[in-house]
Amino acid sequence: MKKKTQWWRLPIAILICVVFLSPLYILVSVAFRSPADLSSYWSLPSEFHIENFVSAISEGKILKSIANSAIITVGSVLILVVAGSLAAYPLARKKTRFNAGVNSFILGIMMVPPLSILVSLYSVLVDLKGINSYWGLILTLVTFELPLAIFLYTNFIKSLPKALDEAAAIDGCGPIRTFFQIILPQLMPVTASVVILTGVHCWNDYQFSLYIMQNSNLRTVPLAIASYFSQTTSNVNAAAAAALLAILPPVLAFLFLQKYFIKGMVDSAIK
């Protein structure tokens, strides 16, 4: 194949960069700008005003909220991996009518918009004393991310040879031992996808956190940003600094682990 000149790609590539990078450029530009600097956000800040980040950390309690989000994300993902892979094993291995029913039920749950059962879910959590607790938010997030985890694990376990299970059964392993000793160690690649996809969802969740974490010491990152933006209308620069700090962890994780993120996305969409 001979190489054609590809000059027409350049303007499109530039347009893509402008559209997708300008919001981030504006965010960085506001975050480093002194509140006294009144020039356009498009221009570079006259000086790098690090104080915005200092006030974001001290007033906005961004670090505390990052710690809270980390606890919630790690807790949720751990439970998701265990409960998801467990439920996926019988789904992938046995074709009974009961399992088919369980499967369509789980896919149905994927479609429930959280807000549609918000009122009653909130009152259930009040009864269970799950409001303003880590476990209340963790278990709620786990429940709504679980269908995705089960879906990913089921597809993956189906691709593992059944001979593995049969050999284990002949050697006298029950299903429980087969799962933990034979199947579980094979699940690393798909576990990476589950962790990445559901982890980003949990980190970025706003709707559930808004109702469950009302105590300001338990705020997650989106909640801290929301309250910072609504309170300090005078200091938008510090709010921008807070937003910049808040998006750094997932964006950096993506830049370093791109391959896994893309693979996870494709796994979740295509059987």
Partner 1 sequence: MKKNSLQNRLRQSQMNLFYIPALVLFSVFVIYPFIKGIFISTTNWNGYSQNYKSVGIKNYLRLFTDKNVRTALINTLIYGFGSTLIQNALGLALALFLNEKFRGRSVLRAIIYMPVMIAPLIMGYIMYFLFSYNRGALNDIVMLFGGEAVDWMANGPRAVMLMTLVNALQFVGISMVIYLAGLQNIPAMYYEAAALDGVKPFAQFRYITLPLLHPAVTSAVTVNLIGGLKLYDIISALTSGGPGYASHSLSTLVHRTYFGAENAGYASAIGLFTFLLIMVISSIVTRILAAKEVEVS
Stretch 248-267 residues interacting with partner 1 (CB under 8 A): 250-251, 253-255, 258, 261-262, 265-266
* Residues within window 128-167 making contact with partner 1, judged by CB under 8 A: 128, 139-140, 142-144, 146, 150
**Whole-Å CA distances, 6 to 10, 16, 19:** 8, 16, 21
Q: Which of 119, 158, 167, 216 binds partner 1 (CB under 8 A)?
A: 119
For residue 16, state whether it binds partner 1 (rule: CB under 8 A).
Answer: yes
* Chain centre to alpha carbon of residue 226: 18
Window 42 to 101, contacts with partner 1 (CB under 8 A): 42, 79, 82-84, 86-87, 89-90, 93-94, 96, 98
Nearer to partner 1 by Cβ, of 183 and 218: the residue is: 183
Give the shortest CB-188-to-partner 1 separation in angstroms.
19
Does the protein bind partner 1 through residue 118 (CB under 8 A)?
yes
Does residue number 102 form part of the binding site for partner 1 (CB under 8 A)? yes
Residues 6+ apart with CB under 8 A from 47: 34, 37
Between 23 and 161, CB nearer to partner 1: 23
The two structure tokens encoding residue 263: 């693979």
CA distance 137 to 121: 11
**What does the alpha-carbon distance between residue 129 and residue 131 come to, in Å, rounded to a whole number?**
6
Interaxial angle between packed helices 236-256 and 188-204, expressed in degrees from 0 to 180 and rounded to the nearest 10: 170
Q: How far is the CB of 233 from partner 1 (least distance, A)?
A: 11
Stretch that binds partner 1, among 48-56, 57-65, 70-78, 168-176 (CB under 8 A): 168-176
By CB under 8 A, residue 247 contacts partner 1: yes
DSSP labels, 30-74:
HHTS-TT--S-TTSPPSS--THHHHHHHHTS-HHHHHHHHHHHHH
Check binding of 231 to partner 1 (CB under 8 A): no
52 CB contacts (<8 Å, ≥6 apart)?
A: 31, 32, 33, 235, 237, 238, 240, 241
Q: Work out whether 182 is an interface residue with partner 1 (CB under 8 A).
A: no
